Chain A
């Protein structure tokens, strides 16, 4: 069996009396798009924060391709090739779209040159133009990122994750707040990305999850409730009760099962 791309071992995080992530043992194999779902407060984003180094764990370990990355700083985790997007869209608002990509591409370098003109870096500029084109953002290249529409910011986020040649991409609700058309665009993009990059995605939109995920893990109260292929998950009684059983989602789950 090959080494999982991401593995946690008894990973725990407490906020005061609340245990957000509770002795979590998760193993995510390489090459399959993995979705993490669960009700609000299940600890999904906390898990991402622990992996990416924004939070430090109270116990347990995180392994990236077998390497223990517990306790590394965010920039150190990032330089290993683990990139993430935030649930609340967060780009560099006063930089232009192209500059956002530019600075992301260069951020992994240990040495930030203090005197050479950034504009002279042709290699990076060509790469930025390529990603602009792939993301469909070429026309907006010079716009300050803070003035973009929500859907375009999300595309920029994915572009930023992509331009740094990630090995593992953590997407935290990438389609949250998007219009149906924007969601469709983003989903297509994510599916295309998944062919070359390992992706773990947190998503609330069940239609998106069942469309793109190869495997699904359901979290509740900081632990794993169930894990398996989409059809196993949608058939799981406990999952239906705890999560999918809500009326507004039920119809859709039925559709998926019957389809």
Chain B
């Protein structure tokens, strides 16, 4: 008997095996180009997870996560191109920059909720977007910064570098998987329960003794961390950074990915991001208005499946579980004398 728990376990393992085998499987089945598409999907999934942590678990809808993505990106690019840092310090600089700016803006932003919060996050990201465009010497403005890849590490004679497509893929996979694992741990922890309590009813949460402001700020900084890691990875992946990735359009896309995939579920952002990036890659070469498909699907999902695609799936699993449990009870009753 396949209980929901077993089905979920099996799917998770299958998904893991697939991800690990991508560098061999995909070139054999399709072509090597799709390996980098999968790598890109993982990076953007992590970015969507940042939106999801705030909106899906704490109930704060941010339209400004691109700001922290951008800081992650610029931290790496400026670290490598301007400061001459090697891989790890540049990676660290990107993440620290994102976390620090998330803390500073979060101190102001999480005083607000709902549309006021959404608006202030947009405002912050716009301020820094125009700032990044205007300080050309530092950021390269619209052209961005291109940089030469530093090697990641070398052990003995072996040098790992993003120049090697397989190494790049596995480095991204490992980093994104680690971040998702951390997020999973947080959600299952007392802090995670407090997140959801605040999402459900912030007044009540305060009355039972939760420091709502402080916990929202912690979530905001954690989301900034996830966005920062994804931005730093994307900088290494693309070997450049550009202010255009700080525009709120980018934030908005991640909101759509997270909501369509399923806000408040761990895997929702992965499903949503995968769906839309695959559509983009398949359709955009034939039809320039592929965004129309994205828009139509987003509307359909929001109306028909408010908890997103993963929410639909979970409901199906639950119903199935209830059925099998019901059947089990029945058989038990029948066997009793």
- Whether A103 pairs with B189 at a CB distance below 8 angstroms is no
Beyond A75-B211, A75-B212, whether A90 also contacts B201 by CB under 8 A is yes
Tally of chain B residues near chain A (CB < 8 A): 27
Beyond A114-B191, A121-B190, whether A92 also contacts B200 by CB under 8 A is yes
Shortest Cβ distance from residue A111 to the other chain B in the assembled complex, whole angstroms:
9
Closest to A108 in B: B209
| Cβ-Cβ contact count across A and B, 8 Å cutoff | 102
- Whether B209 pairs with A78 at a CB distance below 8 angstroms is yes
- Is the CB of B303 closer than 8 A to any CB of chain A? no
- Is the CB of B188 closer than 8 A to any CB of chain A? yes
* Chain A residues in 8 Å Cβ range of B185: 114-115, 117
CB contact list, B118-167 vs A, under 8 A: none
- Whether A118 pairs with B190 at a CB distance below 8 angstroms is yes
Closest to A157 in B: B204
The interface bits of chain A over 156-169 (1 if a CB of B lies within 8 angstroms of the residue's CB, else 0) are: 00001000100000
- Is the CB of B208 closer than 8 A to any CB of chain A? yes
Q: Looking at chain B's contact residues, is the secondary structure mostly helix, strand, loop, or mixed?
A: helix
* Chain A residues in 8 Å Cβ range of B206: 53-54, 73-75, 78
- Is the CB of B96 closer than 8 A to any CB of chain A? no
* Chain A residues in 8 Å Cβ range of B193: 95, 99, 102-103, 106, 118
- Is the CB of A104 closer than 8 A to any CB of chain B? yes
In angstroms, Cα B190 to Cα A116, docked, is 7
- Whether A116 pairs with B204 at a CB distance below 8 angstroms is no
- Is the CB of A93 closer than 8 A to any CB of chain B? yes
The interface bits of chain B over 179-215 (1 if a CB of A lies within 8 angstroms of the residue's CB, else 0) are: 0001001101111111011011101111111111001
Q: Which one of B191, B196, B210 has the greatest number of beta carbons of chain A within 10 Å?
A: B210
* Chain B residues in 8 Å Cβ range of A95: 193, 196-197, 200
- Whether A114 pairs with B207 at a CB distance below 8 angstroms is no
- Is the CB of A2 closer than 8 A to any CB of chain B? no
Shortest Cβ distance from residue A78 to the other chain B in the assembled complex, whole angstroms:
4
Beyond A74-B206, A84-B207, whether A112 also contacts B200 by CB under 8 A is no
* Chain A residues in 8 Å Cβ range of B196: 92, 94-95, 103
Shortest Cβ distance from residue A54 to the other chain B in the assembled complex, whole angstroms:
7
* Chain A residues in 8 Å Cβ range of B190: 106, 109, 112-113, 116, 118, 121
In angstroms, Cα B199 to Cα A121, docked, is 22
Other-chain residue from A75, A86, A92, A102 in contact with B209 (beta carbon distance below 8 A): A75
CB contact list, A215-229 vs B, under 8 A: none
Beyond A103-B194, A107-B197, whether A118 also contacts B188 by CB under 8 A is yes
- Whether B207 pairs with A83 at a CB distance below 8 angstroms is yes
The interface bits of chain A over 177-195 (1 if a CB of B lies within 8 angstroms of the residue's CB, else 0) are: 0000000000000000000
In angstroms, Cα B206 to Cα A52, docked, is 10
- Whether B205 pairs with A107 at a CB distance below 8 angstroms is yes
Other-chain residue from B186, B199, B201 in contact with A114 (beta carbon distance below 8 A): B186
- Is the CB of A91 closer than 8 A to any CB of chain B? yes
Closest to B194 in A: A112
Given A103-B193, A103-B196, 6 more pairs with CB closer than 8 A: A83-B208, A95-B197, A107-B197, A112-B191, A115-B185, A118-B193
24 cross-chain CB contacts under 8 A: A53-B206, A54-B203, A54-B207, A75-B206, A78-B209, A84-B207, A86-B204, A92-B200, A93-B200, A95-B197, A95-B200, A99-B193, A103-B194, A106-B190, A107-B205, A108-B208, A113-B190, A115-B182, A115-B189, A117-B185, A117-B189, A118-B190, A118-B193, A121-B190
